[in-house]
Amino acid sequence: MRYRVLGGTGIEVSVHCLGAMMFGAVGNPDHDDCVRIIHAALDQGINFVDTADMYSSGESEEIVGKALHGRRDDVVLATKVHFPMGDGPNRGGNSRRWIVKEVEASLRRLRTDWIDLYQIHRYDPATDIEETLATLTDLVRQGKIRTFGCSMFPVEQLAEAHHVAERRGLQRLRTEQPPYSLLTRWIETSMLPFCQRHGMGVLTFGPLASGFLSGRYRKDQPIDLTTGRAALTPSRFDPAVADTVTKLDAVERLVELAADIGCSLPELAAAFPVAHPAVTSVIIGPRTMAQLETLLKGASLVLDDATLDRIDEIVPPGTNLYKEHGPWTPPALADPSTRRRPLADRAAVG
């Protein structure tokens, strides 16, 4: 297993990180089996585990906590906060009120006294970034977390966060967690160059593009929309949709490429993100032991320039075939009221 330094933190992490999203009711409800998978990953040299409070409503964190009993000191543990945990207002977001409350809940579920990397799961336009950074800085000083980062922040919000941290004397975001795969390459345009320029660690997720790169979904073969990932979001896998056809066409060419270099498509998919100089670690999220073993084979695979050139021909750099893993949509685009003057004002101006 190879290791890299996480941003400027001095913390060394394995180039593949064990993602725990599929541990619990959403994926594998067998706690004992999940613990065995975690132990197997650690035994293979992975020292980095990533989860989130909202994965299976806290169940994933509980499973990780069980698995790390007696092994906590050897593991770099990451979790996240942002999404709602229960009904009612003020039970989610990036406010001081919620972060201070929820970090305690995560510590209890994880059975630990500290979290190595605490991540803001999404940008929150309702909360001043200074409030969030100040809260996280306080948690570092209290020893409850070692460092902090974010996931799926727009580049412009990363830039603002860095500016605020410098101006206010706060600690800054050390990591970003975006999607990155053979089908999802939009972060190559500005996100990865920004992180590289500012010394941020990058943890990429979704190397299998929600299963499109697992080898399970192939062109001109029936796709069962009632099982697996397809059952959760059938529209993403519907072969009657033009975007699905485009993805499946690319998959066929990538399958051929994988065969030419003597590996499987999932192995190729797991190896691809590691080749980018801005990427620190690639999150793999197995549901079963067999999936873990397949993905770990990709951990030892090094892609040469000729192979990367062929990938660029199939899916050009910076493009995005899997739109569901595309850039975050800011409120300025999602909410029409943010870009339209009140009708009375428009009439007065006209």
Beta bridge partners of 145: 115
Report d(CA 164, CA 50) in Å as an integer.
27
Catalytic residue among 55, 118, 123, 217: 55
Tokens 């993403």 map to which residue?
A: 236
Report d(CA 137, CA 123) in Å as an integer.
17
Which amino acid, one-letter code, is at 313? E
User: Does the active-site annotation cover 123?
Assistant: no
Give helix 129-142 / helix 96-110 axis angle, nearest 10°.
40
Long-range contacts of 219-225 (CB under 8 A, 24+ apart): 219/245, 219/248, 219/249, 219/251, 219/252
Tokens 């910076």 map to which residue?
A: 318
Contact 184, 206 (CB under 8 A): yes
What are the catalytic residues?
55
